[in-house]
Structure 1
Amino acid sequence: MIKVLLVDDHAVVRMGLSVLLNNVPEMEVVGEASEGNEGIEKALETKPDVVLMDLSMPHGKDGLSATSELKKQLPDTSILILTMHDDEEYLFRAIQAGASGCVLKSAPHQELIEAIKSVCKGNAYLHPAATKRLMDEYLDNIKQDGSDRYQLLSDREKEVLTLIAKGYSNKEIGEKLVISVKTVESHKSNLMEKLQMKTRPELVSYALKKGLLGYGM
């Protein structure tokens, strides 16, 4: 039996959720609260498996603050944020606060039930649109991070990186750029530090992703 605590400032919403979840054979609503502080008290009293936490509650403690505090006191309790906000800012803040996931209030009943089952097992749950936005954000961060690091390189270091990726030895790079082997090694050490890499294969892979192998040197 999955014990669920409802925390929402709208009594009608709590009533509807209670009826819905109590009709699921393996679920039981063990308590209700209208704001965060009351939710924490009820959680400490009932020890639920999952807390359905409203994000915006104008009176008392809000959902994010309550989630953060509740996770400190009941770390084994999963918290599923129930929100009207289809916004990545709220999503990120909820995850940072310790929530196991988010479900939109407009979601179908079956999605909510599956989400509760999922977080109860220790899994994270995000609705499909949120999952896509998180992935897009992650990929954008990687792209931006790599771009920023590349801009840290001097023109000479970029030349050395390109030649390393094309398979030239330090001696050959020195001959092409008319610099000493020691200087090549110094440039290589500096660019590896700036790119946060430790091996030649990492440099080659990075250069390939950056499209540097198309340079005509």
Structure 2
Amino acid sequence: MINRQLVRIPEHVAIIMDGNGRWAQQRGLPRAMGHRKGVEAVRDVVRVAGEVGISYLTLFAFSSENWSRPEAEVTDLMGLLKAFIRRDLADLHSQNVRIRVIGSRDNLRSDILPLLIEAEETTRHNTGLTLVIAFNYGARDEIVRATKKLAEKVARGEIAAADIDSQAIENQLDTNGIPDPDLVIRTSGEERLSNFLLWQAAYAELLFVPEFWPDFSRDIFHAALETYARRDRRFGGVAPVATAAVS
């Protein structure tokens, strides 16, 4: 268990939940079983985040590139998402968890979009952990959509091109109002961001752990937070140099 008095807790943790399929294949199971086991890991991580005082937890649930996977696997993933929202929404709401969904909502299936909206609306006024679900999300697509919105504002004469700065872009991103992640964790041993929060993770601490997502336990999460606490975050600057006292 983390000693909150000794460990610096990140405000925002983002996780790339990778390795469900490989977890299943190693055990001779269908890939769908790995995804189902991964849902259990999601529940554990949400509980831990609330217990230790993390304010924002972002989970990369489904990328805009995942639609290219076999149709049967995509169908199973959609089924798991629907089951998670229907089964866990009331519990999350009772825990004061606020749900926010990021990603493109264009052309989403008619049985998915209403559930995502329901999850957001039901928990809109909760004040505890904000659980951000990145669904149909790709960072490049997010940035393209943001810049198109700004271009349209310029075309309408609402702003001048010279007014566009980093803050103007951030205001148009899906994550508007959400602080940048302090820590990005990726499971399964892969060491890349895979088009996840590319703008927001500019100064995040990155941590790659070897365990597949279904094996991401409370203890592994606690260890990751302790590793983060030992990092020296300088945000492009330099660490202060201790000077000797002059007598």
- Provide TM-score, normalisation by structure 1: 0.31
Largest Rg, 1 or 2? 1
- Greater RCO, 1 or 2 (C-alpha within 8 Å, sep 6+): 2
- Provide TM-score, normalisation by structure 2: 0.28
**Higher helix fraction (1 or 2):** 1
